[in-house]
Chain A
Amino acid sequence: MFLAILAGFLLAFAAPLLHRWLGKWVLVPMATLPFSIFVYLLTLTPAVLGGDKLGELHDWAPSLNINLHFFLDGLSLLFALLITGFGTLIMLYAGGYLKGHPLLGRFYLYLTLFMTAMLGLVLAGNIISIFVFWELTSISSYLLIGFNQDKEKSRNSALQALLVTGLGGLALMGGLILLGMAGGSYTLSELLERGDLVTNHALYLPALVLILLGAFTKSAQFPFHFWLPNAMEAPTPVSAYLHSATMVKAGVYLLARLTPVMGGTDEWQYTLMLVGGITTVLGALLATQHTDLKAILAYTTISALGLLVTMTGIGTAPAMEAMVVFLLAHALYKGTLFLVAGNVDHATGTRDLTQLTGLSGSMRYTAIAALLAGMSMAGLLPFFGFIGKELLYEATLEESPFRWMLFAVSFFSGMVFVAVAIALGFGVFWRRSTKPTPLQHPDKLLLYLPPVVLASAGLVFGLLPGFFVTPLLRRAAESMLGVEQVFELALWHGFNLVLGLSLLTMALGYVVYRYANRLLSYASRFNKLYLFGPANLYQLTLKGFLIGATKITATIQNGYLRSYIAAIVTAQISLVVLALWDDGPRLELGNRLHELSQLRLYEVVLLLMIVSALVFLFKSQSRLTSIAIMGIVGYSAALLYILFGAPDVAATQLLIETLTVVIFVLILHKLPTFKYLSHATERYKYVLISLTFGAVMTYVILIVKQYPLDSQLKAYYGQNSYLLAHGRNIVNVILVDFRAFDTLGEIVVLAVAAIGIMAMLKLRMQKGEKP
Chain B
Amino acid sequence: MKTIILATAIRILIPLFIIFSVYTLFRGHNHPGGGFIGGLIGSIAFVFHTMTHGPQHTVDTFLKLNLYGYPRQPNQSRSLYLMRMMRVNVWRRRKMARHPDIKHHMVRIESVYIIATGLFLAATSGVFGLLSGQPFMHAYWSDFYIPVLGKPGTPILFDLGVYLLVIGVVLKITFVMSEE
Contacts and interface: CB of A to CB of B under 8 A. Distances in A.
Contacts of A732: 28-29, 33-34, 159
B158 A648 contact: no
A747 interface: yes
Given A647-B32, A655-B44, A729-B33, A762 B155 contact: no
Given A662-B51, A729-B32, A747-B161, A754 B44 contact: no
Interface residues of B, number: 51
Query: In this complex, which of A655, A659, A755, A758 has the most chain B Cβ atoms within 10 angstroms of its Cβ?
Result: A655
Contact of B44 (A658, A665, A743): A658
Interface in B119-134: 119, 122-123, 125-126
B47 A662 contact: yes
Contact of B51 (A665, A731, A750, A771): A665
A652 B32 CA distance: 10
Interface string A721-758: 00001111101110111001101100110110111011
A670 interface: yes
A747 B30 contact: no
A667 interface: yes
Given A666-B174, A741-B136, A736 B34 contact: yes
Contact of A726 (B35, B118, B151): B151
B139 A659 contact: no
Interface centre among A732, A753, A765 (most CB of B within 10 A): A732
Using C-beta atoms within 8 Å of the partner chain, give the interface range for chain A. Answer: 35 or more
A727 B29 contact: yes
B41 A740 contact: no
Interface string B26-68: 0011111111110011011001101100000000000000000
A663 interface: yes
B43 A747 contact: no
A571 interface: no
Nearest to B37: A651
B170 to A, nearest CB: 6
Contacts of B12: none
B170 A740 contact: no
A198 to B, nearest CB: 42
Contacts of B180: 670, 761, 765, 771
A656 interface: yes
Interface in B4-42: 28-37, 40-41
Contacts of A757: 172-173, 176
A648 B37 contact: yes
Nearest to B170: A659
Contacts, number: 141
A754 B176 CA distance: 10
B31 A736 contact: no
Contacts of A667: 177-178
A747 B118 contact: yes
A493 B110 CA distance: 82
Nearest to B168: A754
Given A670-B180, A727-B30, A652 B51 contact: no
A731 B159 CA distance: 13
Contact of A659 (B32, B34, B35, B43): B43
B137 A740 contact: yes
A753 B168 CA distance: 12
A728 B30 contact: yes
Contacts of B28: 729, 732, 736
Given A761-B176, A771-B180, A666 B51 contact: yes
A761 B33 CA distance: 32
Contacts of B177: 663, 666-667, 761
Given A655-B37, A663-B173, A757-B173, A744 B31 contact: no
Contact of A751 (B35, B119, B125, B178): B119
Contacts of A725: 139, 155
Contact of B40 (A656, A735, A748, A771): A656
Given A656-B40, A736-B29, 17 more contacts: A648-B34, A655-B40, A663-B173, A666-B47, A727-B29, A728-B30, A728-B31, A729-B32, A729-B34, A732-B159, A736-B28, A736-B155, A737-B155, A737-B158, A741-B137, A750-B165, A751-B115
Q: Lowest 5 A-B CB distances belong to which pairs?
A: A655-B40, A647-B32, A727-B29, A728-B30, A754-B169
22 contacts: A648-B34, A652-B36, A655-B37, A655-B41, A662-B47, A663-B177, A666-B1, A725-B155, A727-B29, A729-B29, A736-B155, A736-B159, A740-B126, A740-B158, A743-B162, A744-B123, A747-B161, A750-B165, A750-B166, A757-B176, A758-B112, A765-B180
